[in-house]
Structure 1
Amino acid sequence: MNYINLDMPKAGDTVVVGMSGGVDSTLTALLLKNKGCRVIGATMSIWDGRLPEVKSDKPIREACYGPGEEENIAECEKFCKEHDIEYHVIDVKETYRKVVLEYFKSEYRAGRTPNPCIRCNRFIKFDALLAGLKELKIDFDYFCTGHYARVVRPETGIFGTDAKPAMIAGAADSTKDQTYFLYRLPSELLEKVRFPLALMQKKEVFELAKQANLEAAKREESQDFIPPEYFEMLFNDKPSVPGDIIDLDGHVLGRHKGIEHYTIGQRKGLGVALNYPAYVQHIDAKNNLVVLAKNDDLNSNALIADDFVWPAGIEPSEPVEALVKIRLASRPAAAIVEKYVPSEDDKTVYSGTPWKITFKEPQRAVAPGQSAVLYIDGVIRGGGVISRTIE
């Protein structure tokens, strides 16, 4: 199927740019300003200071949620003032706490591996932030960010229909692809969303930022949702519940410090000594167990995912072949995607219609809580949250 890139903002358009203080969003604002757009900068304020300051001998890495927010906002204000750009800070702290932080903690405590960036993009950056702008009565033609992705439209209808919704596709720089984080954005919202860096390489972005003497070009890129030094503190609202670490045969190998401290595929920090490399193969939240296994025992032939979203809400009426990413860093794997009808023995409580994804080759360390995102011809055709695996 062929797709066309949706038009970028043109001179005279009013464009809100979601700014973080990083090089991508800052250059996005500058490029649009130089193009003749009326640019409005907007930053979401999420850091509520609930966690005490961490003292560390090493520099604390830049992260989305952390004490560096005040400095980031100051840099955005300075840039916007220098370039005659209207600027607003939108307070979304309470929404962020409920929708992202509490989700993050509850998922880990349920033995699942959450993806806070997907949650944040859908409900904070592309929802609560825009709601805050609406309260300020700020009208705009487009909302732009520094994500590496494209917004496209199919030339023919999808899944056997006449619908041609706005959809997410990969950017020119595949090494910086961020489409996985954006898969839950609804098509109607994408009609007004654009990613001006879509056709640029990251090295080109840095070069242009340096030529423009942008302070953002000197900053370390944000790599984490939360600085590692703050992770343990985030879970201090409840005591951890220790339990057994076992192997696949049920033999007790040691004790864990609380299931929220472990993820599928983890090898380091397990606190057990074995005569073979061991990895977390499964987390049994009901029985408070962490199950270890050899590397080959982490493979899964298929998975069940639910809480699915589809472009314009249009789901396939029959099985489809797609490339599926099961985590941001994974390579898309060929699979068959089809509706799943639970058997009487399946006691899982699903959110919405569950779908079965059967891989042509087994996939390693499939983690419930992460997302399975479907790509066809490099375009996102749907995605859901992994509920469980099929060995």
Structure 2
Amino acid sequence: MNYEILDMPKKGDTVVVGMSGGVDSTLTALMLKEKGCNVIGVTMSLWDGKLPEIKSDKPMKEACYGPGEEENIEECKKFCAEHGIEYHVIEVQETYRQKVLEYFKAEYRAGRTPNPCIQCNRYIKFGALLDGIQNLSINYDYFCTGHYAKIVRPQEGVFGSDKKPCMIATAADITKDQTYFLNRIPSSVLEKVRFPLATMKKAEVFELAKKANLEAANREESQDFIGEEYFDLLFADKPSVPGDIIDLDGHVLGKHKGIEHYTIGQRRGLGVAVSYPVYVQAIDAKNNVVVLAPNDALNSSALVADDFVWPADVEPAEEFEAEIKIRLASRPVKAKISRYVPEAGDDFAYKGQPWLVTFSEPQRAVAPGQSAVLYKDNVILGGGIIVKAIK
């Protein structure tokens, strides 16, 4: 299928830029201002202070959720004041707590591996934040962020329909491509979304930022949604329930400290003594058991996923082929995607039509709870949530 890359904001357009204080969003705002756009900066406030602030002699890594938010907001405010940009802070703490923090905890406690960044993009950055902008009665032509991705439109209808919705395509800098994190944003929202860094390399962004003497060019980039130091505090609302760590034959190898501390494919921090390398192969929440296995036992030939988001809500009518990514860092692999009919005894509460994804080659450490994102011609065809791996 052929696609057209949609036009970027032009001189005179009113553009709202989601700003974090980082180099990408700051340069995005500057580029649009210099282009002659009427730029309005907005920052979402996530930190609600409900976790005690940790004091440490060691510098903590930048994270999306944490007390360092105030400093980021001050930097954004300063930048906007220096460049004549209207600026607003939009509070989304309660929505963030419900849609991201509570989701994160519930998924881990159910033995799944959540992806809070995907949840945040869907419900906060491109949800609650946009609602906050609307509540301020701000009218705008485009909403821009510093993500590395493209917005395209197909020249023919998707999946045999007559609909030609906005879709997400991979960025020029594939090493920084963030499309995996954006896969659940509805097509209707994407109509006004643009990513001005889509065709730029990260090195070019830093070079331009340094030439413009942007303080953001000297900042450490945010790596996680929450700092490691706050993980245990986040889960302190309920006591962890220890249980058995077993091998594939059911032999007890040790005790785990609570299934929320483990994820599929994990090797470090298992606390067992085995004569060969072992990894987390499965997490059985029902029986509160963590299963370890050799590396080869982590391979899967297929997976089942549900809760799919399709372009313009057009669900495929028949089997098709695409490439799939099962986590951000995985390379896309060819796969056949077909409707899945639950077998007798399968009592999982599926959300919508589940799909069977059969890999062209075995994939390692398929983790329930993570996203299965489908691509063709470097464009996202849809994304679902992994329910189970088929070994």
TM-score by length of 2: 0.99
Match of residue 268 from structure 2: 268
Match of residue 42 from structure 2: 42
1:97 shift after superposition: 0.4
Please list every run of at least 4 consecutive aligned residues from structure 1 whose deviation after the TM superposition is greater than 3 angstroms: none
Match of residue 181 from structure 1: 181
Give deviations 1:308-365, integer Å, cap 9, x for gaps: 0100011211111111000001111110001111121222211111000000111000
Please give the alpha-carbon distance, in whole angstroms, between the structure 2 residues aligned to 1:130 and 1:157. Answer: 28
Counterparts of 1:329-368 in structure 2, within 5 Å, are: 329-368=329-368
Counterparts of 1:127-206 in structure 2, within 5 Å, are: 127-206=127-206
Q: Residue type matched to 1:337 in 2?
A: I
Please give the alpha-carbon distance, in whole angstroms, between the structure 2 residues aligned to 1:56 and 1:295. Answer: 37
Please give the alpha-carbon distance, in whole angstroms, between the structure 2 residues aligned to 1:171 and 1:120. Answer: 20
Q: Residue type matched to 2:319 in 1?
A: P
Which deviates the most, 206-215 or 50-59?
50-59
Match of residue 107 from structure 1: 107
Question: Are 2:283 and 1:287 equivalent residues in the alignment?
Answer: no
Match of residue 80 from structure 1: 80
Please give the alpha-carbon distance, in whole angstroms, between the structure 2 residues aligned to 1:97 and 1:166. Answer: 29
1:55 shift after superposition: 2.7
Give deviations 1:277-309, integer Å, cap 9, x for gaps: 000000000000000000000001111000001
Counterparts of 1:10-49 in structure 2, within 5 Å, are: 10-49=10-49
Please give the alpha-carbon distance, in whole angstroms, between the structure 1 residues aligned to 2:119 and 2:339. Answer: 24
1:56 shift after superposition: 2.4
Residue segments in structure 2 that go unaligned for 5+ positions in a row: none
Counterparts of 1:186-335 in structure 2, within 5 Å, are: 186-335=186-335
Which secondary structure does the structure 1 equivalent of 2:12 belong to?
Answer: coil
Give deviations 1:70-93, integer Å, cap 9, x for gaps: 000000000000000000000000
TM-score by length of 1: 0.99
Q: Percent identity?
A: 75
Give deviations 1:183-215, integer Å, cap 9, x for gaps: 111111111000000000000000000000000
1:24 shift after superposition: 0.2
1:218 shift after superposition: 0.4
Please give the alpha-carbon distance, in whole angstroms, between the structure 2 residues aligned to 1:162 and 1:237. Answer: 49
Size of the aligned set, in residue pairs, is: 391
Please give the alpha-carbon distance, in whole angstroms, between the structure 2 residues aligned to 1:55 and 1:67. Answer: 11
Please give the alpha-carbon distance, in whole angstroms, between the structure 2 residues aligned to 1:370 and 1:161. Answer: 29
Which secondary structure does the structure 1 equivalent of 2:175 belong to?
Answer: helix
Residue segments in structure 1 that go unaligned for 5+ positions in a row: none
